[in-house]
């Protein structure tokens, strides 16, 4: 699989969100990554359903919705109706993870699980065959612009081994601190999708920056 890129609109200019989405439409991005934060599961609040609906009106790329929230089951249907193509929940927030994944799939969305930097990939063994994707957090969730955690490379290799051994078709997304300095090593370790926020939106030419990631 060639490198796939999912720019995170957490780093976009919210005052010009429509133009930012139209820029992504014109780019080689594969998905638009949407981080939902509740101020409880993570120490920050991003945006909610009305913004996702607004983004979906203009987006021509699939919305990859990442729920960094407690009690995500209560909102799955609402995010599907708002335009989510993929919904990922955090393992740490879901006491009945298998049930949550099945609920996402019953809505017709692809289902993913995100894991925090301290969470072992071993905990995914019993669910990995049910998943479409795993988001490996390479920073502590809650804020953009953080420093990349170097242990992520080993974690990706461990996860890839589990996926291969179980025959799972799950893809691996990396979220946090992604740039051209670490992107090749991430892909070489087994990543499939690079989520990039500040690196894309704060660059002089976001479309060219996305292209440079795609060409790895």
CATH, residue 67? 3.20.20.70
What does the pLDDT look like over 136-168, one tens digit per residue? Answer: 999 998 776 678 999 999 999 999 999 999 999
Residue span of the structural domain in which 145 resides:
4-214
Question: CA 7, CA 99: separation in Å to the nearest integer?
Answer: 29
Question: How many CA atoms does the CB half-sphere of 107 hold within 13 Å?
Answer: 23
Question: Has residue 88 got a pLDDT over 80?
Answer: yes
Tell whether the model's pLDDT for residue 106 goes beyond 90. Answer: yes
Q: Are 15 and 199 in contact (CB under 8 A)?
A: no
Q: Which of 56, 63, 46 is nearest to 18 (CA)?
A: 56
If one counts the domains in the chain, the total is: 1
Number of CB atoms found within 10 A of residue 110's CB: 17
Catalytically annotated residues: 35, 175
Q: Residue 27 is encoded by which pair of tokens?
A: 């780019």
- The pLDDT of residue 114: 98
How confident is the model at residue 142, as a pLDDT? 75
CA-wise closest residue to 143 among 177, 179, 183, 97: 177
């Amino acid at each position: 699989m060639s490198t796939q890129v999912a720019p995170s609109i957490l780093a976009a200019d919210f005052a010009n969100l429509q133009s930012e989405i139209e820029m992504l439409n014109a780019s080689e991005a594969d998905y638009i990554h949407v981080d939902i934060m509740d101020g409880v599961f993570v120490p920050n609040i991003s945006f909610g359903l009305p913004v996702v609906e607004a983004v979906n009106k203009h987006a021509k790329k699939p919305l990859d919705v990442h729920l960094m929230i407690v009690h995500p089951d209560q909102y799955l249907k609402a995010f599907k109706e708002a335009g989510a193509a993929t919904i990922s929940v955090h393992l740490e927030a879901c006491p009945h993870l298998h049930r949550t994944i099945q609920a996402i799939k019953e809505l017709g969305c692809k289902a993913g699980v995100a894991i925090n930097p301290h969470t072992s990939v071993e905990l995914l063994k019993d669910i990995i065959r049910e998943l479409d994707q795993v988001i490996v957090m390479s920073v502590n969730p809650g804020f953009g612009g953080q420093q990349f955690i170097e242990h992520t490379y080993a974690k990706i290799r461990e996860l890839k081994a589990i996926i291969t051994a179980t025959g799972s078709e799950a893809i691996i997304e990396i979220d946090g601190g992604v740039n051209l300095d670490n992107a090749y090593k991430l892909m070489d370790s087994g990543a499939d999708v690079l989520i990039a926020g500040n690196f894309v939106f704060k660059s002089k030419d976001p479309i060219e920056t996305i292209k440079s990631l795609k060409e790895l």
